[in-house]
Structure 1
């Protein structure tokens, strides 16, 4: 695996960076033009005009309330005889003004008598202009909304979008799309009927997500592997398309159902048994301790031998070794029911082809065999013919009994199958030297800052764990179950130092333009918070970078996300549609072994929840809630692992080991793991400008805004309320919005009337808003001439060393 290598300085440390040659181009698979077509520039201009008029009216109102009314009220109440008009008449005019009503003749006479004739005339004039603008805006809003509904309906005439909805939500596909085109439901009136509007609103949400988001666990969007080619003169080369590869696997809950089925048909002696990994035997005693809470159980010698032999072998074999006969086995299992997992078949947490293994263990006419057959036909069928096969898959599952309650399940594990497929351009895209130069500069800006933040976070986490240990070692499982309150004082000091840079005069034109030297100087003293022995440690981050501009050689790079573990790029679900998946993973494993000795490392194996797989990396596998795929000699139950008082490693069979990051952020995991590089969010208040380091965007502009809730009944008022919010906070036209009730950020184009209405209908709560960058006109990935949002997910292996007197910071 030939990598691109160079060195960058991070304070007193040199980071030797290996940018691995394979990367993922993560694009949603649908052109941005589909959602951009919903916008109305005219409507956006009318919103701005209306708000200008509203502000002029509000200013005029304040003039009366603050300047004229106090004097009029004082004179009218203190000396009615000298008052220019009866107080009740002035009060009546005041109330009309306060409620935003025009002044009638009676009110005008009172104000004329009071000497504010010109103000009153201007009030009615401004009010009339505002109302006229509002009426025109309401008409334009209705027309633009009707047009947007039509555009949404037409967009879903595209088979690829219908397929994407099917993958995400087969129920909605069947109810809304399978019976015919959405355009048939638009009706003949000015807008679609109410029932159709609800379906179109849901389709509109899908359209926004499918054209703008690069999902971590994709519902749609092909997998596209690319390679770096440093000697290539072209910044980007896209070869001729080829046939896609399709991978379809059973969901986690479907695998669970099939495993229970196999258990039910497997004779007792043929079922396999595993010890509960949270228990351990106390040395020299017939006592098992549940390490989560220290509870101890005295166990008879024969049962203890049965428990210790439960390493995944058949029960009959384990029972014979323990001297337990077939008749006594059932009673023994009852007595050990809380200490064992017994199954006819159990899939490893990292198994990528569980359905094949289940079918191999099933009867020829069994449900696992039937589901595999359906899956094979499903995967071979073109869209939309495969939709019918999905119904057949659901029928197989229904034959196992009641479908489980999927409420609370991971959002990407609610259907029978996970489906992934490769782009026709996968393994046909190469990025050459001119673009690589820009990528190197981007990583040079990102890595030093995030590496120090990772070290500080680890020190903070170790302090939390040390406090819980109180000077004594403890079982890892007990600490994992404890409520360790995160405390990040060192990280907060770094965040404050960077916020100071942004706040103190570096922001101009909406951008806080920093240099690497600015950042290095601001955080230099924070290196003293990391023990010298812990400053140089390897890590394996996975940056997601986006490019602003059509030419990758000259584009501005944006840090979209930063994951602390790049192993899923090479060993996750996407690997299944690579032409040489085993070689891809084997080369990555070898590179990791070169980075850090396997005998010093360990992976925590937890139960899989979705299509996403975090692979088992070289070293020991510590089983927590999931089953390792490694030979039993290379695994260890978590109950046998302890954490020493210094909280720097896990003790596995008497030897210290560190954990791989694995995208886990708990203080315990951070304390015991290699440095976990993740984004360091900086905020300086309600609005934080875009932050760049050496021209690289390390954080998009962001806002914290309170959503007022209680949406108005009138569409035009809901629309106007959101535009007031936009103008008040200086929001750009296109943003992503996070709301506490929404699991994912929502794309909002303020020129899209349907998107604005969706935003208006949200409940009250704090919105975290970020600018869309790059925008639709700044995209580089143009498949068949149609621009798509796209990011590069990279794999980096970084070794660190203390800088010597003769070291250069670059190579």
Structure 2
């Protein structure tokens, strides 16, 4: 085994379900499902009897199709009544033709089958009544309604109106499984908790329970911020004071070069208008267009990577003297503010949506900003920006402690203030909640996390490195020899696909095929070749679940550690740490370790637009602002037009103008060929292809992959054709018997973002499975591990799934920390001493603010151990054949990458 020099960050985010397993288990029909399984077993016995029936003389085609034993003597044909009984698997009357022993066995099996069918009907009705009672309790629980209105306001509204149809039942079951069977940290129903890796202490945790939530904070959806930015650009009083600067593109751009060239981040728009002689109105219009195209940003545009963008904007508007609604003296802060004594906690009368009064449009709005106000009631359109931002901030302060009905009204009001129109199917407010769970991962658990999990990561990192190298060489073969601007490379390679290295997957598939029939677990330790160490650093996050009834019962090397999702970025972020007592110190430690892992490499952050409730990553290194803005104003920014790719036809390396050292992209789960070829190795789950069944794959006690089945869409047809709960349960029991499926599982479709939890005893969840099956040719079914019985997080009799979000870092093999000096890592012509600062671009380089530890993120490391571009690639993989040919630069107009063409919105 190779030396494991992975670094596990000691601070771990704990993700757990906000509701117990018992919530979704309450949807089950346990007695009816057991009886349905009995029905299917008896059906199978009867069908086997039909298949083995002795044949005497001639029988009709109908009898053969029914599998009947024989016709009556001399006739060759059974009566219609007998054929019907055989088809329906019912007992035959006395005197029916056939051997006596066969008739006795048939009537015994089918008699029991009829009894089971009758029993199933009664039990299904009884279980349905129990489930209805349980659901009635759930839909009146204030905490569940709180979670529902935050995540599915449309369904909440239907429940309040008394909807009880099949669609409502199915959607409600879908939300129940999301809240209680999955781990998450979005909303009050998925609180953010923390753990520490402490090998010298015993494992355990403290917890005040799942209902304890000391802090909750509400944030607006990204579209609210975008709407406010449009209003800033349309506000004649503010736009003149804005200080625009370039973003995404550093050089000249078509149809905007004259204006963009004036925007240096120092002068206000009014100064630019006066010095350029364009006039404020034309300058305002040009700024609005340039911001929309992603060419410019300004000093009132919040960074995309901070958690609270609205609070950031509120502070700067207040500092600029913009009047706004402010809480009175002594009012609580943003978190959990007590609402004022009004007719409704959202500040307007019950039943009002702020749309009643109508006046003419505001005459001060420039024509280029009218689109932001189009379709909005004049009352909202007349609100000044400051009051609008202040009211949204006030509403968000009230939101966490408001009742569900008031939250629904607040959502409508914020939608109206933002000016985006009502969209009941889209969440407008996101919540983050602090939990009280504090976990200590000590002794054996810490040892396995630090030593055993990295053995699996070694396998995946080796495959990721080979995938990067293969894709890079495919990219280089397409480009040919030469130097290409990144935009040119994007056009020429937009149709390329990632070239996965499948040797690991092929070896595992061979082991699976050679495994004994019926094997449910395969230990891969000692069966795989030693992986090659990556030639580039690896930064990743692994979600790890402990399958044990308690942390204290953990046995190192024996208790299963289940690898869940793998992420190619460092997810210990300001958002994840916003409730941590020492968040600043944790982030500083994270950045120090990342710099150490990146030693000898420069990784480029791609700051994308904020599209959901979570901010994009911003890690040590220079930034490329594509849609989003970096939080650190001193961070070196590189324009998209400053990036170029040097290719010799076999290897492609990313460079930036003005920088000697090559670059690699930080990852952000951009699954494109160009990004894969030029980024740090991206860990992915093992690609197991179309194997119909895969046992649980482990490396000793580390579960690499849960048991898995691939089931075709036609196998689920009976679920969609079933009429009523009884038929659903029987159809599901048949499906389980055919494919040997477990009683509970997760089902995933390539067309859907998240899998669904299915309890085969719940008709409502089975209906959801049937609808999911219609979205793809095949579904992937995986076992539930750990299940409720193996969940260590418990509150009295209630059990909760929980996972440890662990960050692992590994340096490149060529810069491993070695006590012996190694000259081969040093570039021959690396400048040192006084010559080093010449590598900086004037006015654009500064160290990251903060710790002062580690190398400068904005420049190369003089005299450091930076490999030359070619050293980032290991030996050519055996058998690698590059089939892509150099293409003309005009090919591939359609793009499959996250980067814009010049002049398009970032």
| Same fold, judged at TM 0.5 (above) | yes
Partner of 1:539 in structure 2?
Answer: 538
Distance in 1 separating the partners of 2:388 and 2:286: 35
**Per-residue deviation, 1:208:** 1.6
Instruction: Choose the corresponding residue for 2:191, options 216, 219, 222.
Output: 222
Cα distance, 1:172–1:471 mapped onto 2, change above 3 Å: same
Partner of 1:729 in structure 2?
Answer: 739
1:378-393 pair list within 5 angstroms: 378-379=396-397, 383-385=401-403, 388=406, 391-392=409-410
Cα distance, 1:28–1:702 mapped onto 2, change above 3 Å: same
Q: Deviations over 1:760-792 (max 9, x none)?
A: 455544221100001111111124563210000
Partner of 2:324 in structure 1?
Answer: 364
Q: Does the CA contact (< 8 Å) of 1:228 and 1:431 recur in 2?
A: yes
Cα distance, 1:674–1:219 mapped onto 2, change above 3 Å: farther
Q: 1:318 and 2:297 equivalent?
A: no
Q: Does the CA contact (< 8 Å) of 2:498 and 2:676 recur in 1?
A: no
Cα distance, 1:487–1:670 mapped onto 2, change above 3 Å: closer
Instruction: Choose the corresponding residue for 1:776, options 781, 784, 788.
Output: 788
Partner of 1:251 in structure 2?
Answer: 221
Q: Deviations over 1:424-471 (max 9, x none)?
A: 23xx43222232123234313322111111111211221332233133
Cα distance, 1:714–1:382 mapped onto 2, change above 3 Å: closer
Partner of 2:875 in structure 1?
Answer: none
Q: 1:421 and 2:433 equivalent?
A: yes
Q: Does the CA contact (< 8 Å) of 1:570 and 1:584 recur in 2?
A: no
Partner of 1:266 in structure 2?
Answer: 236
Q: Deviations over 1:238-270 (max 9, x none)?
A: 277897222222210111111112221135533
1:301-700 pair list within 5 angstroms: 304-312=257-265, 314-322=268-276, 324-326=278-280, 329=283, 340-341=295-296, 345-359=300-314, 360-361=316-317, 363-364=323-324, 366=384, 369-373=387-391, 375-376=393-394, 378-379=396-397, 383-385=401-403, 388=406, 391-392=409-410, 394-403=412-421, 414-425=426-437, 428-480=438-490, 482-489=493-500, 491-505=501-515, 509-515=519-525, 517-519=526-528, 521=529, 524=530, 527=532, 535-552=534-551, 553-554=554-555, 555-566=559-570, 568-571=571-574, 573-597=575-599, 600-631=602-633, 634-645=636-647, 646-655=651-660, 656-682=662-688, 685-700=691-706
Distance in 1 separating the partners of 2:471 and 2:403: 52
**Per-residue deviation, 1:383:** 3.8
Cα distance, 1:311–1:577 mapped onto 2, change above 3 Å: farther
Distance in 2 separating the partners of 1:588 and 1:561: 21
Q: Deviations over 1:544-598 (max 9, x none)?
A: 11011123332321111211112x3233x22222234333323322222222249
Partner of 2:837 in structure 1?
Answer: none
Q: Does the CA contact (< 8 Å) of 2:186 and 2:431 recur in 1?
A: no
Q: Does the CA contact (< 8 Å) of 1:246 and 1:379 recur in 2?
A: no
Instruction: Choose the corresponding residue for 1:793, options 786, 789, 805.
Output: 805
**Per-residue deviation, 1:714:** 3.7
Partner of 1:188 in structure 2?
Answer: none
Structure having the higher strand fraction is 1
Cα distance, 1:238–1:708 mapped onto 2, change above 3 Å: closer
**Per-residue deviation, 1:487:** 4.0
Distance in 2 separating the partners of 1:38 and 1:345: 49
Q: Secondary structure at the match of 1:68?
A: coil
Q: Does the CA contact (< 8 Å) of 1:514 and 1:692 recur in 2?
A: yes
**Per-residue deviation, 1:793:** 0.3
Q: Does the CA contact (< 8 Å) of 2:92 and 2:107 recur in 1?
A: no
Q: Does the CA contact (< 8 Å) of 1:547 and 1:791 recur in 2?
A: yes
Structure 1, 324-333 or 786-795: larger mean CA deviation: 324-333
Structure 1, 753-762 or 442-451: larger mean CA deviation: 753-762
Distance in 2 separating the partners of 1:129 and 1:776: 34
Q: Deviations over 1:159-212 (max 9, x none)?
A: 3322221221233334425x8xxxxx7xxxxxxxx8266544433222221111
Partner of 2:17 in structure 1?
Answer: 28
Gaps of 5+ in 2: 65-70, 326-383, 821-906
Q: Deviations over 1:617-674 (max 9, x none)?
A: 1221112232333437711221221122122334353432111112332221121112
Distance in 2 separating the partners of 1:121 and 1:785: 49
Gaps of 5+ in 1: 1-8, 78-82, 180-184, 186-193, 282-287, 289-296, 408-413, 528-533
Q: Deviations over 1:110-157 (max 9, x none)?
A: x63xx5565456545533432321221122122112212222222344
Q: Does the CA contact (< 8 Å) of 1:738 and 1:746 recur in 2?
A: yes
Distance in 2 separating the partners of 1:56 and 1:736: 30
Cα distance, 1:608–1:160 mapped onto 2, change above 3 Å: same
Q: Secondary structure at the match of 1:634?
A: coil
Partner of 2:39 in structure 1?
Answer: 50
Partner of 2:881 in structure 1?
Answer: none
Q: Does the CA contact (< 8 Å) of 2:502 and 2:687 recur in 1?
A: no
Cα distance, 1:401–1:34 mapped onto 2, change above 3 Å: closer
Cα distance, 1:60–1:602 mapped onto 2, change above 3 Å: same
Structure 1, 632-641 or 85-94: larger mean CA deviation: 85-94
Instruction: Choose the corresponding residue for 1:166, options 134, 149, 154.
Output: 149
Distance in 2 separating the partners of 1:803 and 1:259: 45
**Per-residue deviation, 1:333:** 6.7
Cα distance, 1:88–1:382 mapped onto 2, change above 3 Å: same
Q: Secondary structure at the match of 1:473?
A: strand
Q: Does the CA contact (< 8 Å) of 1:602 and 1:657 recur in 2?
A: yes
Instruction: Choose the corresponding residue for 1:61, options 50, 65, 69.
Output: 50
TM-score (norm 2): 0.73
Structure having the higher helix fraction is 1
Q: Secondary structure at the match of 1:648?
A: strand
Cα distance, 1:305–1:143 mapped onto 2, change above 3 Å: same
Q: Secondary structure at the match of 1:466?
A: helix
Q: Secondary structure at the match of 2:228?
A: helix
Distance in 1 separating the partners of 2:733 and 2:386: 54
Q: Does the CA contact (< 8 Å) of 2:294 and 2:626 recur in 1?
A: no
Q: Secondary structure at the match of 2:13?
A: strand
Partner of 2:204 in structure 1?
Answer: 236
**Per-residue deviation, 1:95:** 4.8
Distance in 1 separating the partners of 2:56 and 2:544: 58
**Equivalent residues, number:** 729
